[in-house]
């Protein structure tokens, strides 16, 4: 009785939106039509690392989808050069228009031909969506005109041609061709990608993570999985000092202080002044930035950034030491290495073994209190913490990450997470002590996910120890964001024996070469292993050394191939694009992107080489997706409402 009461109560509420049989029937027909449409295209990107230019280009070209559509439509009718020009116009309409106006002799004729071609491309990419959805995606004031051109059924072909010609000629005569080209190009790009997955690591290495986030904020449909570098910035913005120092160190390491100063208004001057004075007689050669454009900077710039780099590195190690001592439950005592150095004899003691070090100039180390900051270092950190706290743009971007992101996502039967699930060598989920509990597998990830959210939304009142967890998740071998036996930052800077800077991966990374292990993980998350995949980033795939992004007989796909320029010499490529459309999965490997200027002027697209194509027996429809499941539930509810109207249990409003 209670169930029937609740059902009638719910249907009574639903009847306020659908007031009679006709309205209910109309919505059922509409939803049935939607679930039978082809599934929209999903795109998966990972490890963008602040590389805005190639990221923007991939969104502009739809991961190669737009070029493919142009080739399908016009491959036999217009030249390769014309197809490349049309594609570039769609990718960068405003910039390309300026160039074309200088090159074209008969502009009206070019406008007329180009508008026809753009309409054909728009028809093709929007064909899998409802007319209503396409119309809502047009945001530049040409909704009615574009809708008419895409959906006109005006008589026979001659009538239709005259109709098109009349509309296009009017657009040109009214000097609206440029605005129309921009509007329909944006629609094409919007329709090419129905949903975007960002599988971690927006920050660090590249120069403009801020631009990336601004672009993502405007994207129509998106989910994000946090990466280890994202978690680091999130912890820093929450106020964790060790995370702040690490963020600044990485920016210095990649000569990317500009993102702090110009991008987020972080005041680096106190650190710079301190570094120049403290290390004025130190060449800091071990701290030369990994990325340094000698055409833009001179030797003095290199020396200055190196001193900043060294100063913040020592501060970071001190702050990390304080955290480790304050939290014995982290089990990170093996990272306490500052106090293991013998500066007179030039070695450090690691796991009972002596290793020669390459630097003994540490003027801020106090033998009696080696992890204590000097007064000057404390002042530097106070100023940095204040800047991170007061940066409204940074806080806005991190708020976006917290609200839109999560540790893992299950979407259309695929499991997405950045790095790993900690496992034992025997292939079991590793049991980890976290916040006083023993956790493993999905339960462990769920607790971490909830904890991360709590640190942000209660950061003004939350216990400082909880914010410290953000740093722990960045560095711990048991963290699903890291997945290595140690973070060998100290060794990579100071130990001469380079074998000591190697970081052994969690067993997850070799175990998932096995299909049965991938299936075990999918089952842990309630997924059908016959129709599901795992998608990861985090560890760049070294394609030039023969590594493959395909693991576990195709059950796991690693799509970090080196978006960041600093990785590309090791990987031999520039990242991967994974798309999932109604026909199946497509995984492509990118060649490096040269520049936006060359993309526009020389029409150089990102060249993507198809690696794997997994297609199903039948084409997937919207009804096969998560959205389709929800729509089917809505249809069942509406059918119940229809029965109530027909039986008279609910009164119609006509």
DSSP-assigned letters across all residues of 119-161: HHHHHHHHTTS-HHHHHHH--SS-HHHHHHHHH---SSHHHHH
Residue 592 confidence (pLDDT): 81
Tokens of 127: 């064909």
d(CA 41, CA 62): 9
pLDDT at 79: 94
The average pLDDT across 504-525 equals 96
pLDDT digits (tens, 9 = 90+) for 571-602: 767 778 899 988 888 888 888 888 889 999 98
Q: Is the pLDDT of residue 546 over 90?
A: no
Per-residue pLDDT tens over the stretch 155-208: 566 767 788 888 889 999 999 999 999 999 999 999 999 999 999 999 988 889
State pLDDT tens for residues 200-259.
Answer: 999 988 889 999 999 999 999 999 999 999 999 999 999 999 999 999 999 999 999 999
Closest CA to 291 of 33, 585, 17, 564: 564
The whole-number average pLDDT for the span 392-408 is 96
Q: Which residues contact 141 (CB under 8 A, 6 or more apart)?
A: 179, 183
pLDDT at 156: 64
Strand order in the sheet with 608-615: 405-406, 222-225, 195-198, 42-45, 576-581, 584-590, 608-615
pLDDT at 157: 65
Q: Determine which of 211-225, 321-335, 404-418, 599-613 has the lowest per-residue pLDDT on average.
A: 599-613
Indicate the pLDDT class of residue 3, thresholds 50, 70 and 90.
low
Q: How far is the C-alpha of 421 from the C-alpha of 599, rounded, in Å?
A: 39
pLDDT for 577 equals 87
pLDDT at 617 over 70: no
pLDDT, one tens digit per residue, over 242-295 is 999 999 999 999 999 999 999 999 999 999 999 999 999 998 988 998 876 666
At residue 353, the 3 state secondary structure works out as: strand
Rounded average pLDDT over 461-488: 92
Which residues, 6 or more positions from 427, have their beta carbon under 8 angstroms from its beta carbon? 507, 511, 514, 517, 520
Q: What phi and psi, each to the nearest 5 degrees, are found at residue 350?
A: -125, 120
Does the structure show a pLDDT above 80 at 352? Answer: yes
The yes-or-no verdict on residue 152 having pLDDT over 60 is yes
Q: Of 471, 538, 480, 543, which Cα lies nearest the Cα of 506?
A: 480
Q: Is the pLDDT of residue 332 over 70?
A: yes
Q: What pLDDT, on a 0 to 100 scale, did the predictor assign at position 297?
A: 67
DSSP state of 649: S
Whether residue 2 is predicted with pLDDT greater than 60 in this model: the reply is: no
Kindly state the average pLDDT of the residues 423-448: 96
| Confidence at residue 603, expressed as pLDDT on a 0 to 100 scale | 85
SS3 per-residue string spanning 268-285:
CHHHHHHHHHHCCCCCCH
Measured between alpha carbons, how far is 424 from 421 in angstroms, rounded to an integer?
A: 10
Q: How far is CA 597 from the centre of its chain?
A: 24
Whether the pLDDT of residue 563 is over 80: the answer is no
Query: What pLDDT was estimated at residue 497?
Result: 93
**What is the per-residue pLDDT for 567?**
73
Q: At what angle do helices 269-278 and 375-390 cross, to 10 degrees?
A: 160
């Amino acid at each position: 009785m209670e169930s029937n009461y609740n059902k009638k109560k719910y249907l009574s509420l639903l009847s306020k939106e659908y007031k009679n049989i006709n309205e209910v029937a109309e919505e059922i027909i509409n939803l049935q039509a939607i679930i039978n449409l082809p599934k929209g295209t999903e795109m998966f990107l990972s490890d963008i690392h602040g590389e805005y230019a190639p990221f923007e280009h991939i969104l502009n070209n739809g991961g190669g989808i737009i070029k493919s559509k142009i080739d399908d439509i016009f491959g036999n009718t217009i030249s390769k050069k014309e197809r490349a020009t049309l594609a570039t116009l769609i990718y960068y309409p405003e910039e390309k228009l300026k160039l074309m106006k200088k090159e074209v002799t008969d502009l009206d004729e070019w406008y007329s031909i180009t508008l026809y071609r753009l309409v054909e491309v728009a028809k093709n990419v929007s064909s899998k969506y409802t007319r209503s959805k396409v119309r809502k995606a047009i945001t530049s004031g040409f909704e009615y005109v574009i809708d008419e051109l895409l959906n006109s059924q005006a008589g026979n072909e001659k009538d239709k041609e005259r109709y098109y010609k009349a509309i296009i000629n009017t657009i040109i005569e009214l000097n609206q061709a440029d605005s129309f080209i921009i509007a329909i190009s944006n629609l094409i790009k919007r329709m090419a990608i129905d949903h975007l997955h960002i599988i971690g690591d927006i920050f660090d290495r590249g120069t403009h993570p801020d631009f990336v986030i601004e672009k993502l904020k405007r994207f129509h449909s998106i989910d994000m999985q946090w990466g280890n570098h994202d978690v680091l910035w999130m912890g820093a913005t929450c106020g964790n000092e060790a995370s702040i120092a690490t963020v600044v160190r990485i920016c210095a390491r990649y000569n990317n202080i500009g993102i702090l100063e110009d991008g987020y208004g972080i005041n680096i001057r106190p650190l710079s002044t301190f570094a120049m004075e403290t290390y004025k007689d130190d060449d800091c050669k071990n701290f030369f930035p990994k990325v340094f454009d000698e055409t833009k900077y001179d030797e003095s710039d290199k020396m200055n950034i190196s001193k900043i780099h060294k100063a913040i590195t020592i501060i970071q190690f001190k702050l990390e030491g304080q955290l480790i001592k304050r939290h014995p439950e982290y089990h990170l005592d093996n990272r306490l290495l500052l106090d293991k150095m013998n500066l007179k004899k030039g070695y450090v003691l690691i796991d009972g073994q002596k290793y020669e070090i390459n630097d003994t100039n540490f003027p801020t180390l106090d033998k009696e209190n080696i992890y204590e900051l000097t007064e000057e270092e404390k002042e530097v950190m106070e100023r940095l913490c204040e800047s991170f706290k007061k940066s409204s743009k940074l806080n806005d971007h991190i708020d976006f990450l917290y609200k839109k992101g999560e540790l893992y996502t299950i979407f259309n039967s695929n499991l997405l997470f950045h790095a790993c699930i900690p496992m034992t060598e025997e292939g079991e989920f590793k049991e980890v002590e976290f916040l006083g509990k023993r956790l493993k597998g999905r339960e462990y990830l769920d607790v971490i996910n909830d904890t991360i959210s709590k640190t942000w939304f209660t950061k003004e009142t939350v216990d400082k120890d909880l914010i410290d967890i953000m740093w722990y998740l960045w560095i711990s071998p048991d963290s699903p964001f890291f997945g290595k036996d140690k973070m060998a930052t100290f060794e990579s800077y100071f130990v001469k024996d380079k074998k000591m800077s190697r970081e052994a991966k969690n067993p997850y990374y070799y175990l998932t070469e096995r299909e049965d292990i991938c299936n075990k993980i999918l089952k842990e998350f309630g997924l059908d292993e016959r129709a599901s995949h795992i998608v990861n980033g985090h560890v760049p795939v070294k394609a030039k050394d023969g590594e493959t992004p395909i693991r576990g007989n195709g059950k796991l796909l690693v799509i970090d191939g080196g978006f960041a320029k600093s990785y590309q010499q090791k990987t031999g490529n520039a990242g991967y694009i994974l798309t999932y459309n109604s026909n199946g999965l497509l995984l492509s490997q990118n060649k490096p992107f040269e520049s936006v200027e060359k993309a526009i002027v020389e029409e150089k697209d990102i060249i993507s080489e198809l690696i794997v194509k997994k297609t199903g027996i039948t084409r997937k429809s919207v009804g096969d997706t998560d959205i389709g499941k929800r729509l089917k539930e809505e249809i069942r509810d509406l059918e119940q409402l229809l029965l109530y109207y027909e039986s008279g249990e609910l009164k119609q409003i006509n």
